Structure 1
Amino acid sequence: MQCVPFEQAARDVSTGGPGVSGRILAQRTIGVRVCILREITIPAGQATGWHYHDGYLYAYVKRGILSHFNAAYTSDGVYTAGNFLTETPGAGHVHIGENRGTTDVVLEVLYVLSHGARLSEDAPDPGCEPH
């Protein structure tokens, strides 16, 4: 089995706010797919930055409350500890995750990617107000 080199996977992430961090817990290649499990921490008042994924993403909220918005800055979910969420791949699915609470949001995230794909791609701020 092949794995994405840790150094490559660690730098292939979207630009988030101050203190947003991720660490790889496990990675494995299964056939033509690369599966990477990461723990992501979003401090209170911070966000992931606008981005999209080249593959499917499955997340479990371990701690905190994650507010999730699409490119129209319309809420497409508020996820609390114990909730799961999925994100569809492609540039047509730009989104941002925000921590509007007072404690860290901690997510366990499984990325299912084609070999060589990045974990996420930065996207420009759509410049709209939340609603």
Structure 2
Amino acid sequence: MSDSPTPDPRSGVTDEVLATRTIDGVDYVFTLTTLAPGAATGWHTHPGAIYSVVHSGALTHGLAGCSTEVIGPGEPFVDHPGEVHIGRNLGTTPTVVVGLGALPHGAPFATSATDPGCAAE
């Protein structure tokens, strides 16, 4: 057993909630996420759909089925409810992502998930 602490999987990731609004039992959460070079979100899920666009940099988006895609500036993507995934910045400049979550009222924005055993991209 190692005495060293487990590294924070979100080290180098900052999230800013820009606005929230609840309509008909759905929390709409508008976010700005910045990943420093080399940073990763850690494996996680969302209880509702998250509609996002990469504003700058590039995001390597990995899914639990071990598929990945690189998403560049201006490109949209969707994280589906319950889908296990990770976001990584493998570049040399910050990656900035703007997102809109449509979540069940009162649900957490994200929940940590177990690493599905995919090789690092």
Same fold, TM exceeding 0.5? Answer: yes
CA contact (8 A) 1:74 1:130 kept: no
Counterpart of 2:94 in structure 1 is 104
Question: 80, 101, 105: which is aligned to 2:72?
Answer: 80
Runs of at least 5 residues in structure 1 that lack an aligned partner in the other structure: 1-14
In the aligned structure 1, how far is the partner of 2:76 from the partner of 2:118?
A: 27
Using the alignment, how far apart are the partners of 2:19 and 2:105 within structure 1?
Answer: 15
**Residues 1:55 and 2:48 aligned together:** yes
Contact 1:61 1:79 in 2 (8 A): yes
Say which structure is richer in helix.
1
In structure 1, what is the Cα distance between the partners aligned to 2:120 and 2:36?
Answer: 20
TM-score by length of 2: 0.88
**2:110 is the counterpart of 1:120:** yes
**How many residues are aligned here?**
114
For residue 30 of structure 2, the aligned residue among 37, 45, 55 is 37
| More divergent stretch after superposition (51-60 vs 66-75) | 66-75
Distance in 2, matches of 1:16 and 1:32, equals 31
Per-residue CA shift, 1:20-72, capped at 9, x if unaligned?
01011000011111100010001101111000100000001111000101113
Let me know the Cα RMSD of the aligned residues: 1.4
Shift of 1:128: 2.7
Percent identity between matched residues is: 39
- Structure 2 unaligned runs (5+)? 1-7
The answer on whether the counterparts of 1:54 and 1:118 sit within 8 Å (CA) in structure 2 is yes
The structure 1 segments of at least 4 consecutive aligned residues displaced by more than 6 Å after TM superposition are none
Q: What is the TM-score normalised by the length of structure 1? A: 0.82
